[in-house]
Amino acid sequence: MSLTIRPAAPEDCPTIVSHIRELAIFEKLENEAVGTAEQFRLHLFGERPICEALMAEWNGEPAGFALFFTNFSTFLAKPGLYLEDLYVREPFRRKGIGKALITTIASIAVERNYGRFEWSVLNWNSPAIAFYRSLGAVPMDEWTVQRVSGPALQYMAAMAPESNGK
């Protein structure tokens, strides 16, 4: 059996969207997965790409993907990588594909001399948590993710002073 991990190409965007929809169903968040192939094409390959993706293929068949982007640590004064999504399709699980994807991203962080590699995991996803621990990941128990989106984001933005550097 043959595993290939490669950078995503523009023609992979419909497959990425399909994988994201499968992931959203698994995470019980299917109503939140509204992105289109065109949006991913713009953000992965447009004039100012803001994220990167890796594709996993098993014997030439789409098996999974990982999408990540650069963040920055003020304490380290170095960039880092943030893994937004890692997904392996059900028929291809337990073949080392998830490990190949996540370790490839770790090697990209090391190659670029970045200071850290981070991601979030749902509290109920104990198989994923166990997998991440087996690779040396440690939980950031003192930290809680905060999020503002949709109408709340619009509300917060409306509070910005007029002289906010725009």
* Catalytic residue positions, numbered: 132
β-strands 78-88, 61-73 pairing: antiparallel
Residue 131 neighbours by CB under 8 Å, 6+ apart = 98, 99
- The secondary element (H helix, E strand) that includes residue 99 is helix 97-111
- The secondary element (H helix, E strand) that includes residue 62 is strand 61-73
- The secondary element (H helix, E strand) that includes residue 158 is helix 150-158
Q: Specify whether the CB–CB gap between 24 and 30 falls below 8 A.
A: yes
Q: Look at residues 95, 14, 24, 27 and name the one whose alpha carbon lies nearest to residue 53.
A: 14
Instruction: List the 3-7 sheet strands across, edge first.
Output: 3-7, 52-58, 61-73, 78-88, 117-119
